[in-house]
Amino acid sequence: MKKTAFYPGSFDPITNGHLDIIDRAIDLFDKLVVGIGINLAKKPLFPLKDRLEMVRESVGNHPNISITSYTGLTADYAVKIGAVAIIRGLRAISDFEYEFQMALANHKLSPEVETVFLMPSLPNVYLNSTMVKTIARLNGEVENFVPQNVAERLKKRFSDIQGR
């Protein structure tokens, strides 16, 4: 039986840290579904269509990775797609409490789905989308933190916002 894992996130935008987790998760599971969650309480920098495109461009045409969007509870969607695990990245101890609470809630909602925590490799341990957006907003170089396609979209997005 093939084992599917689900890697949820906002991916606003996808970073090298996300790609690091994707690379390692696909080594552990037969199939990986990367899901962009739609959270109506958040105002993302990029519309869903753009985030889906950036993730697809960044991941490439890997035969065992699919990219999708979803609404509702992550645990419910994991069950819907037949996932045996939800993948979560842990960058630092500060992530642990929130992620631990989410893992417990997801387990209560869908006990058949395990949460698997993966730590990013050392060069990506400090990296997050908020930091990348801040650097890009202040005209900093983001090429070391995100794929080239994402760096170009960030520059264009902030150029459009700031009227440059």
Give residue 122's region: left, alpha or beta (phi > 0; psi -120 to 50). Answer: alpha
Collapse the DSSP code of 107 into the 3-class scheme (helix H, G, I; strand E, B; otherwise coil) and give the result.
Answer: helix
Who contacts 56 (Cβ-Cβ below 8 Å, separation ≥6)? 67
Catalytic residues: 18, 42, 91, 129
Report the distance separating Cα 111 and Cα 90, nearest Å. 21
Query: 163: exposed, middle or buried (C-beta count within 10 Å: 0-12, 13-18, 19+)?
Result: exposed
